[in-house]
Amino acid sequence: MPVVRVNGAALGYDSYGEGEPVVLVNGTGAPGRIWRTHQVPALNAAGYRVITLDNRGIPPSDPCPEGITLDDMAADVAGLIEHLDAGPCRVVGFSLGAVIVQELLLARPDLVRAAVLLATCGRADALLTAMSAADLDLCDSGIKLPSRLAAYLQAVQNLSPRTLNDEDKLQDWLTVFEMSLVDLTAVRGQLRLQLIPDRLPSYRGIRVPCQVIGFQDDLVVRPHLAREVARSIPGSSYTEIPGCGHFGYLERPDAVNSAMLEFFAGRQR
């Protein structure tokens, strides 16, 4: 994996294929390689070059220190786009990654041609605030959950009833969760960023074409929070994918990829 120094930080990234670039920005604690199974092949097949990155806190990128801000994370993405001479490009963000993209759209709209925002929000409501506080408490406690318990909690929190009730699929997911547990201490700075202040009024200043995609059974970022973002960004569209939870882009990748590619195709210029 190449590593480049931008915005005062070392960032790891990967590039796949040729064509107009699409940058994928992931959520809390997840590496860029999580896009490789579903989104990278679909975008490559549609003629796009795909760039993924490891946000600060995910090796080989630098740690995510306590003082890091959403502005810093957006500047990291901007710095990578500029380093690769990829702008203006299409950008996709998931969860915290989508919030980072929203800040990028405000700070550096010149670098973005169009944006897709998956499972996003513009504020931390009471439930998101409680979740973030609980994550920080667990991180600071020094307690390490048994892998099977952590996997179970991940499944209940992030998957839809459709998947939870399919025993074969569920077992596959549980195995993946057990094998990919996140060291919370390494991403504590990212955990703090989940306490998002109300940014919805600022989003009225976004002029980049945006598609917001919510997931019907999402218990982390409930769909009404994504709809708030769509209502706040002038001219944006909203699509809700049924039968998937917070990890909808991995649970129902064909539906998500189809919506994303259709939006991008309508924004050719």
Regions of the chain where pLDDT drops below 50: none
Q: Within 13 Å and on the Cβ side, how many CA atoms surround 121?
A: 26
Burial of 32 (0-12, 13-18, 19+ CB in 10 A): buried
Q: Which residues of 65-95 are buried (b: 16+ CB within 10 A; e: fewer)?
A: eeebebebbbbbbbbbbeebebbbbbbbbbb
Question: Could you list the residue range(s) of the whole structural domain that residue 91 is in?
Answer: 3-125+197-265
Contact (CB, 8 A) for 54 and 30: no
CA-nearest of 86, 93, 92 to 111 is 86
Count of other CB atoms within 10 angstroms of residue 168? 6
pLDDT for res 267 = 67
Structural domain count, the chain: 1
Judge whether 180 counts as a catalytic residue: no
- CA 210/CA 260 separation, integer angstroms: 10
130 lies in some domain: no
Burial of 33 (0-12, 13-18, 19+ CB in 10 A): middle
191 lies in some domain: no
Give residue-wise pLDDT tens across range 57-112.
Answer: 898 999 888 789 999 999 999 999 999 999 999 999 999 999 999 999 999 999 99
Catalytic residue among 62, 217, 218, 236: 218
Catalytic residue among 14, 61, 72, 95: 95
pTM for the whole structure: 0.95
161 lies in some domain: no
136 lies in some domain: no
Judge whether 61 counts as a catalytic residue: no
190 lies in some domain: no
Judge whether 254 counts as a catalytic residue: no
- Name the amino acid, one letter, at 257: N
82 lies in some domain: yes
149 lies in some domain: no
Does a cis peptide bond (omega within 30 degrees of 0) precede residue 197? no
Q: What CATH number is given to the structural domain containing 101?
A: 3.40.50.1820
232 lies in some domain: yes
- CA 188/CA 87 separation, integer angstroms: 30
